[in-house]
Amino acid sequence: MRLLHKGIRMNLKKIRRLMRKYGLKCPYRGPNPYRRMAKAIRTNAVFPNAVNREFVKGGVRKVLLTDITYIFYDSGVCYLSTILDAFTREILAYQLSKNLAVDFVLQTVDRLVTAHGSTLDDTTIIHSDQGCHYTSKAFIIKLSDNKFVQSMSRKGNCWDNAPQESFFGHMKDEIKYEIAFMKTFEEVQAKIDDWIDYYNNDRYQWELEKLKGLKDEIIKSITGESVYSKEILAPLVTEVDAKVRELEEQCSTAEKEIADSTALLKELNASYNEIISWSNLYDTASIESKKMIANAIIKRVDVYSGYRLNIELNVNIRQFLIGLDEKEPSLFFTA
């Protein structure tokens, strides 16, 4: 076109031939693969805004906000999906991914259900923007299967999901420069894990009466000193109770296993002592007695070795059997 406006008329094929000859290339803006993917999974399923910026009205585990953010590090970029309780400001579930496939958003929901399913019900709202991941059929079906209410911000309005956007802002303010120099995805994952644990359990927040989480409020609610009612904190208390019961069951199971192991160890030690007493009689026994002793020892050792509770004793017995094999090879072919 530049040649044409200068009054030079030239065939397009000749221009291409000359460009190839002199190695000239015209910059070409290729298609964005993520844009194609977004177009492929996007649907017209836009849900109404059920939250309407009333983030704490329902109480604990009632309004859950979700979004995706880009995490840039030295070797590239990864993507973080989170689900935040708008009332407690706690990150209930998150997933870091190397790509933008919809799977990691679905995995975030799965983690939410696994960790907090006992405190969620059919009134729990999952609120997001109108991004292609959240309008995809897979995500809609995932929420429907778990009986969650789906809600979406108005198009292009980040204030409708403000607490979630605020979380990403605080996180990046504190760790983005450190992450920028990390070489591997695993390093980024470890840093994200550490910071979210700090955010949930050790970071004081103005919105929570300058507390770090609502654990103190659970205790205060029992004595009536909390600024929040027992009804609002009830789902959180239920969740804590469920975790306590789970730990009690694990402790009970561990105690039973310890008791069983102790009894088994006593039984095996008795067998070992019996083997030693037989070995002491071996040198003075008759051929038939030697056969009986050797076969009895072999049977005991087969049972004993299967548990491997005492390696030192095991080695001693094996060495004794090797000695028997050298003295009387025929014994070990006896049925």
* DSSP bridge pairs for 69: 80
For 239-264, what is each residue's pLDDT tens digit? Answer: 666 766 777 787 777 777 777 777 76
Answer yes or no: is 237 within a domain. Answer: no
Q: Are 46 and 181 found together in one domain?
A: yes
Asked if 292 and 247 count as a contact pair (C-beta separation under 8 A), the reply is: no
Query: Does the residue 280 lie in any domain?
Result: yes
Predicted local distance difference test score (pLDDT) of residue 264 = 67
Q: CA nearest 73: which of 161, 187, 238? A: 187
- If phi > 0 it is left, if psi is from -120 to 50 it is alpha, else beta; for residue 45 that is beta
Domain co-membership, 86 together with 174: yes
Return the CATH number at 200: 3.30.420.10
Q: Is the pLDDT of residue 118 over 70?
A: yes
pLDDT at 291 over 70: no
Dist. CA 175–CA 59, nearest whole Å? 30
Q: Is 49 a member of any domain?
A: yes
Residue 293: inside a domain, yes or no?
Answer: yes
Please give the average per-residue pLDDT across 26-46, as a whole number.
67
The whole-number pLDDT of residue 334 equals: 39
For residues 77 and 175, membership in a common domain is answered with: yes
- The structure tokens 């039984």 sit at 267
Considering its fold, how many domains does the chain have in total? 2
Class of residue 37 by CB neighbours under 10 A (exposed 0-12, middle 13-18, buried 19+): middle
Long-range CB pairs of 209-218 (<8 Å, 24+ gap) are: 213/88, 213/90, 214/60, 214/88, 214/90
pLDDT tens, position by position, 303-335:
545 444 444 445 555 555 555 555 544 444 333
Q: Answer whether residue 88 is part of any domain.
A: yes
What pLDDT shows up at residue 129? 92
Look at 244 and 93; give whichever has higher pLDDT: 93
52 shares its domain with 163: yes
Average pLDDT over residues 201-218: 58
Mean pLDDT of 17-26: 87
pLDDT digits (tens, 9 = 90+) for 146-179: 999 999 999 888 899 999 999 999 899 999 999 9
Q: Pick from 171, 204, 237: which residue ends a domain? A: 204
194 and 121 within one domain? yes
Of 204, 239, 267, which marks where a domain is finished?
Answer: 204
CA distance 331 to 290: 8
| 15 band by pLDDT with thresholds 50, 70 and 90 | confident
Return all residues near 18 (Cβ < 8 A) that are at least 6 apart.
24
The CA dihedral of 46, 52, 53, 57, to the nearest 10 degrees, is: -120
Cα separation, 113 vs 332, in Å, equals 58
Q: Are 109 and 115 in contact (CB under 8 A)?
A: no
Least confident of 62-66, 84-88, 113-117, 222-226: 222-226
Residue 165 confidence (pLDDT): 92
Helix, strand, coil percentages in the chain from 3-state DSSP, rounded to 5: 60, 10, 30
Q: Which two tokens stand for residue 141?
A: 């079906």
**Residue 228's pLDDT is what?**
54
Same domain for 196 and 58, yes or no, is yes
Residue 219 has pLDDT above 50, yes or no: no
Query: Across-strand partners of 125?
Result: 63, 149
Domain that holds residue 59: 41-204
If you average pLDDT over residues 199-204, what whole number do you get? Answer: 78
pLDDT range class, residue 74, cuts 50, 70, 90: very high
- Alpha carbons 91 and 95: distance in angstroms, whole number: 11
* Mean pLDDT of all residues in 199-211: 65
Last-in-domain residue among 169, 204, 239? 204
Residue 27 pLDDT greater than 80, yes or no: no
145 and 278 in a single domain? The answer is: no
More confident: 215 or 180: 180
